[in-house]
Structure 1
Amino acid sequence: MPPAATTFTLLTDPAEARARLAGLVEREPEALSVVASVTASLMADPSRFEGPRWWAGAAPSGEAVAAFMHTPPHPLHIALATCDEARDLAALLADRGDDLPGVGGEREPAEAFAAEWVVRTGATATVAMEQARYDLPTRPRLPFEVCGRFRLATEEDAALLDEWHQQFLEVVEGAGRAAPLLTQHLADGRVGLWEDAGRPVSMAYASVASGGVTRVSGVWTPPELRGHGYASAVVAALSSARMDAGEACMLYTDLANRTSNAIYSALGYRRVGDSIRITFER
């Protein structure tokens, strides 16, 4: 007898989504990191995305076993799902006439979703980005000396951080979308700066921890300041600070960027999974 099919529940309220997926976040905090942090940000600022949606996949027992999120204009995000669950949701959305710009998340279920979507809609699927997911099993180690020092950012740094965060987002996602403000991250002491000769030269921030796991992101050194190890230093220091606070660290990198992958591996980060982003065109 084939296994019972997963039941999908559509959620449109971030507070309801957070509550429904809380158990899954606790069990799989790394996989659910993006969903958890974005959902929390939408509870604080509902205007961040228009028409956000979540799907909780439940086993016959009612336990949540899969999680999907769509925050337009981004692709649908698969946080955790089997390939069969991904195909089933793709069929459900395609058959009811949904229009998605793409899909991303765990590689295998994202590829399964895309394959089903193409068959049912006639869309063309193109790989836009491949990423690696890293965790940090031990304290980070900086393998070389870097001039300067680490400090937490303050409100006085807000304008510079907004400028750098926008530059970071445009490199990662392309121009056309305003980067979210880091106001709450600043207030919570989760933004790190590396300074050299008294001036900031590199930044990184850490998401609010979910299930004990924080995601390091927004790693940015202006192009003219690169080549001095500043990004390595700020990531190592911020990761150490978050571990001192009792949190485990993770991050994502673009597999096409050999430099960033080498940096994080040298610090002690360990590649534990792959993600992919696929765009759809009709």
Structure 2
Amino acid sequence: MRTEITDDPEAFWSLAREFLFADPVLHGVLITNVDLRRSGAVTDPAPATYLAVRADSGAVVGAAMRTPPQAIWLSAMPTHAVEAATRALLDSCPDASGVTGVDPGAALFAKEWERRTGAVAHPRLRERIHRLDAVTPPRPVPGHWRPARPADRDLLIEWTGGFEVDAAVSPTAHPTSGETTEAAAEKERARYGVRVDLRVSEGRAWLWEDDGPASYVGATRRHGGIVRIAPVYTPRGRRGNGYASALVAAVSQAALDAGARACSLFTDLANPTSNKIYAAVGYRPVRDVTVYDFVPTGPRP
């Protein structure tokens, strides 16, 4: 096994594209995030790290990325490739806050990181990747769906923040040295704003309306025939009315009608409600993903 590391998304795309598109549902997060950086639609406050793992034959058998302050995102890969990936990423980004990936590879990576650093890898969140090939229409609910507009920007930024808190997939913004809490929060809001503006400008954000906005769904660009649905957010006062089910079904059907082969989304395994409602509109389990936090324990004796 050998590894190749770069901070250039274009170089990584050339290295790993064939591997990633062999399973665009499983590798959708890597594909969409690298695409956004290749196109210049998203920039990072610090250089990203991209990794490809090659077998002795030269074929890429694994990939990973880390965009500070996010955790490492690890693709599915053979177990014998995990040690090489861990070693390379520990050299390149020893301050990584954690790893997210498909098990058993993510679990092996976390264990190897523990062994090499003395940190504790805490499994914070378990998710499931789902795939939809055909929509099962949900029960009718009051209201209608519509594309989000620039005038919805402040609401969508607020709801994006609500989604990230509920989903618990991203680190909470903490002030850096010399930075106020308000400045850290504003920086986070600006990060949400970039994504909201892009989704709205490209027609990839929708609202369900019932006496005002009731639910929000976004989607990725189509890659390898797959559209990933995210985020999905309904504010607490509007939950339990079927708005998210109706909107996810409508957006998924629109993606299929526009040429997508399938749609995908992630659910929190600890939330039986979301797993149930997405299954009801046609989403089927693919693989499970675990989010590990690396918790330092001080220097090893």
User: Secondary structure at 2:52's aligned position in 1?
Assistant: strand
* Structure 1: distance between partners of 2:163 and 2:225: 26
CA-CA distance at 1:229 after TM superposition: 0.5
Query: Counterpart of 1:258?
Result: 272
The one-letter code sitting in structure 2 at the alignment partner of 1:222 is P
The one-letter code sitting in structure 2 at the alignment partner of 1:254 is D
User: Secondary structure at 1:182's aligned position in 2?
Assistant: helix
* Structure 2: distance between partners of 1:217 and 1:46: 16
Query: Counterpart of 2:81?
Result: 85
2:283 counterpart of 1:269 = yes
User: Secondary structure at 1:140's aligned position in 2?
Assistant: coil
Note the alpha carbon deviations across 1:239-264, whole angstroms, 9 max, x for none: 01111111120000111111111111
Q: Is the 8 A contact 1:34 1:79 kept in 2?
A: no
User: Secondary structure at 2:140's aligned position in 1?
Assistant: coil
2:247 to 224, 234, 238: 234
For residues 211 and 121 of structure 1, do their structure 2 counterparts lie closer, same or farther at Cα, with a shift above 3 Å needed? same
Note the alpha carbon deviations across 1:201-259, whole angstroms, 9 max, x for none: 10111101111111101101111111111011110101011111111200001111111
CA-CA distance at 1:49 after TM superposition: 4.3
Q: Is the 8 A contact 1:147 1:196 kept in 2?
A: yes
* Structure 2: distance between partners of 1:146 and 1:166: 26
CA-CA distance at 1:187 after TM superposition: 1.7
The one-letter code sitting in structure 1 at the alignment partner of 2:286 is V
Query: Counterpart of 1:42?
Result: 37
Note the alpha carbon deviations across 1:120-142, whole angstroms, 9 max, x for none: 21111111100011000222321
For residues 154 and 94 of structure 1, do their structure 2 counterparts lie closer, same or farther at Cα, with a shift above 3 Å needed? closer
Query: Counterpart of 1:214?
Result: 227
2:208 counterpart of 1:194 = yes
Q: Unaligned stretches of 5+ in structure 1? A: 1-5
User: Secondary structure at 1:252's aligned position in 2?
Assistant: strand
CA-CA distance at 1:42 after TM superposition: 2.0
* Structure 2: distance between partners of 1:106 and 1:138: 25
CA-CA distance at 1:83 after TM superposition: 1.9
User: Secondary structure at 1:80's aligned position in 2?
Assistant: coil
User: Secondary structure at 2:111's aligned position in 1?
Assistant: helix
Note the alpha carbon deviations across 1:74-127, whole angstroms, 9 max, x for none: 211112212221122213444678232111110210000011111121111111
Query: Counterpart of 2:182?
Result: none
The one-letter code sitting in structure 2 at the alignment partner of 1:38 is N
1:182 to 196, 203, 207: 196
The one-letter code sitting in structure 2 at the alignment partner of 1:34 is V
* Structure 2: distance between partners of 1:118 and 1:156: 47
Note the alpha carbon deviations across 1:5-57, whole angstroms, 9 max, x for none: x2211011112222222212321111221111111222324533422111011
2:164 to 163, 169, 192: 169
2:158 counterpart of 1:145 = no
* Structure 1: distance between partners of 2:251 and 2:198: 16
* Structure 2: distance between partners of 1:11 and 1:114: 22
2:123 counterpart of 1:123 = no
2:258 counterpart of 1:245 = yes
For residues 111 and 98 of structure 1, do their structure 2 counterparts lie closer, same or farther at Cα, with a shift above 3 Å needed? same
Q: Is the 8 A contact 1:148 1:194 kept in 2?
A: yes
* Structure 1: distance between partners of 2:160 and 2:294: 27
Note the alpha carbon deviations across 1:180-202, whole angstroms, 9 max, x for none: 432222122111211113x2110
For residues 99 and 194 of structure 1, do their structure 2 counterparts lie closer, same or farther at Cα, with a shift above 3 Å needed? same
CA-CA distance at 1:275 after TM superposition: 0.1
Query: Counterpart of 2:152?
Result: 157
| Percent identical residues | 33
User: Secondary structure at 2:254's aligned position in 1?
Assistant: helix
* Structure 1: distance between partners of 2:31 and 2:124: 24
| Range that drifts further, 57-66 or 77-86 | 57-66
User: Secondary structure at 2:240's aligned position in 1?
Assistant: coil
TM-score scaled to structure 1, two decimals? 0.91
The one-letter code sitting in structure 2 at the alignment partner of 1:229 is G
Q: Is the 8 A contact 2:132 2:264 kept in 1?
A: yes
